[in-house]
A and B are shown apart, each in its own frame.
Chain A
Amino acid sequence: MENNVTRTFKNLEHKNEKALIGYIVGGYPTLELSRGIIEQLILSGVDIIEIGVPFSDPMADGPIIQDAFTKTLNCGIAPKDCLNLVKSIRERHKETPLLLMTYSNILYSNGLEKFLTQSKNCAIDGFIVPDLNFEEADDYLKITTKLGLSTVFLTSPNTSTQRLRKIAVSSTGFVYMVSVFGITGSRNKFEKYTFESVSRSKSIVSSYGKQLAVGFGISNAQDGKKMIESGADGIIVGTSLIKIITNNEHDQSKMMSELDIFVKELKAICKVPN
């Protein structure tokens, strides 16, 4: 079934481009500013936006995203604020995929169906849930299918081929490959196993007609280029964006210009020469 995510990948393919996926924390540093940041990212060339819903105990995230979550929660930002954030972005960007990245407890705490329905009503395209695997996802898959929400499951370098097949089948958006053994945050250097896993995963995922995007630890254009050369259909950056935001919290114009430069550098390597 076509949705904003698959349509975006198809359009990029026509242009011979790979997807640049940007992650930000909803409501960070403020609700108003995070809206401006998303606008800037889209303007600078990000193809798909992931909005992290702040959670008290983010076990897959490194210190930079944890700190952003803590600060945001201390300001009283709630999941419904993230939903409304998407709703307001959607008014201006009908086709840009807007995904929520959230831990399971946020989805389930007040009733899974209720939260997913509210999300649908706020024009969210789909979900990335780092602590939800397909084995535990029967209800989630049933409801997201019914509502037409995209699902993105994660895979890791140590995921077996057999599991990856199921992950590909369960993912209606793209498959999110975690590049390393570890949590979010930049790495000095990727090891060989990452690039080998990207190639292996790409061939399995694409046999199901799905796309593979790689994230965790990508902090510069060189890293992104290597992921693409290994076969990634898209690259995901998060911590690096949050770092720019945090470092320039009190100088918005500098924040926006640094985001613009960073995104353009990354987008440039997503344009693959023939």
Chain B
Amino acid sequence: MKNNTDLGKFGTYGGRYVPETLIPALEDLDKWYRRLKVDKSFQRELSGLLINFAGRPTPLYYANNLSRHLGGPRIYLKREDLLHSGAHKINNTLGQVLIAKKVGKTRIIAETGAGQHGVATSIASAVFDLKSEIYMGAKDVERQQLNVFRMNLLNSKVHSVHSGSKTLKDAINEALRDWIANVQNTHYLIGSVMGPHPFPTMVRDFQSVIGKEIKEQVHKLTGKLPDAVIACVGGGSNAIGSFYPFVNDKKVKLIGVEAGGKGIRTGFHAATLSKGRIGIFHGMKSYFLQDENGQISEAHSISAGLDYPGIGPEHANLRDTDRASYPYVTDKEAVKAFIQLSKLEGIIPALESAHAIAYIIKNAKNFKKDETVVVTVSGRGDKDLQIVRECISGSEVGIEKNMQAKGIGLEDGE
């Protein structure tokens, strides 16, 4: 795989497309990151935090009931939902805050959609006694009051962003503007494998702990590699973290599941690799949902964490080189998977992760009975209880009616 790390290129994707003011900071960050990546004491400190504070390694759980219910394959769940903060995001925030501290930055900023990355940033900043400020779209602030309170409790200031679509992409724009103005003392803690180099590489490395553990755990259980690894994709951090250690194991199928929203023909979706075009946005070259003139479109997904009109550049390259595939599932399928996993396995997944679960539920028949499939459960579903509750009124018919009333499309994916 061609991977020019000097400029952060994945094939022709990635790179560094930002105002000149940010270039010195990105070069500096890149330099520091290269140094710390091979620094034993840094790695020891980070791994100590991941073990003792965040709760790594996370279990790989054999989902017996789900596997039986579907009639095979053998489905294993990678339990990132059991991490402190309830999602994989903390793997990255602890790493980046540790770097910021070493570099001497005194202030952390971050964007957040539903609030998971904001919460994980606030937690990591609290550990290192750094000031943190979180940018969040005004619509998301409205929808996720409890996470706003959680961030405040953790000593973060939350800025409500009123420009543009008032969601995640606008929160990123505003965080970038803040960074341009305060680049000398501030670290921008990007939450996914996106943005200008070195972020896609650095965030991937921090999240790769997921895939490394999967590899070891599956090997211990079966003596082999898994046949497939499945994860949901918004920006794509839990997916690249799950995939990366397997990229050179060509027999392992890598499947990233995008959010099909109300259906990809409706325009209300976040299926960037199905419907996007190549472009340059948020500092990187990748695929983006955009109109015929190059104006960035709004994304839609029932899960705020997948509600982003772009995708990390490494995924764009994995797709173009046919190393990974990127199907989508709809809001409706994700809600059903959310309910099904809760009932069958006693695990309430985040709506984001429910997209990956929905994929295996739909496609179980395409796998052999004795094949081993790993699905990453990137986060827990507590934050989504309210929205799913509004969808449920006891009966299956009720669910559909309520979803329709909530504006959730009833279209099935392909």
Contacts and interface: CB of A to CB of B under 8 A. Distances in A.
Contact of A156 (B20, B173, B290): B20
A167 B293 CA distance: 28
B24 A105 contact: no
Given A59-B176, A158-B24, A181-B21, A106 B294 contact: yes
A70 B164 contact: yes
B7 A135 contact: yes
7 contacts: A59-B19, A66-B163, A105-B279, A108-B279, A109-B277, A109-B279, A181-B181
Interface string A47-66: 00000000111111011001
A55 B295 CA distance: 6
A158 B290 contact: no
For chain A, the bracket of interface size reads 35 or more
Given A57-B164, A106-B293, A181-B180, A131 B17 contact: yes
A171 B110 CA distance: 34
A73 B279 contact: no
A251 B360 CA distance: 62
B247 interface: no
Q: Is the interface of B mostly helix, strand, loop or mixed?
A: mixed
B169 interface: yes
Interface stretch (B74-82, B113-121, B211-219, B280-288): B280-288
B interface residue count range (under 10 / 10 to 19 / 20 to 34 / 35 or more): 35 or more
A72 to B, nearest CB: 11
Given A57-B281, A108-B280, A181-B183, A136 B296 contact: no
Contacts of A133: 16-18, 20, 23
Interface in A23-57: 55-57
Contact of B24 (A57, A78, A106, A159): A159
Interface in B1-48: 7, 15-21, 23-24
A136 B15 contact: yes
B38 to A, nearest CB: 25
The 9 A-B pairs at the shortest CB distance, nearest first, are namely A109-B294, A104-B280, A156-B21, A182-B181, A56-B295, A156-B20, A105-B294, A56-B296, A105-B279
A110 B294 contact: yes
Given A109-B277, A156-B21, A159-B23, A60 B293 contact: no
Contacts of B23: 133, 156, 159, 163
B278 interface: yes
B182 interface: yes
Nearest to B280: A104
Interface string A98-111: 00000111101110
Contact of B280 (A56, A80, A131, A154): A131
Nearest to A176: B20
Given A158-B24, A183-B180, 18 more contacts: A59-B176, A60-B19, A63-B163, A78-B293, A79-B294, A103-B280, A104-B17, A109-B290, A130-B19, A131-B280, A133-B17, A133-B18, A153-B20, A154-B20, A156-B23, A157-B21, A159-B20, A160-B24
A136 B184 CA distance: 24
Interface string B252-281: 000000000000000000000000011111
A132 interface: yes
Nearest to A78: B293
Interface of A: 55-60, 62-63, 66, 70, 73, 78-80, 103-106, 108-110, 130-133, 135-136, 153-160, 163, 167, 178, 181-183
A183 B181 contact: yes
B251 interface: no
B343 interface: no
Contact of B18 (A62, A63, A131, A158): A131
Nearest to B277: A109
A136 B17 contact: yes
B171 to A, nearest CB: 11
Nearest to A73: B295
Interface string B173-217: 100110011111000000000000000000000000000000000
Nearest to A155: B20
Nearest to B174: A59
Contacts of B283: 131
Contacts of A153: 20
Contacts of A73: 295
Interface in B286-309: 288, 290, 292-296
Contacts of B280: 103-105, 108, 131
B293 A156 contact: no
Contacts of A135: 7, 15-16
B180 A105 contact: no
B275 to A, nearest CB: 14
Contacts of A160: 24
Contacts of A56: 164, 295-296
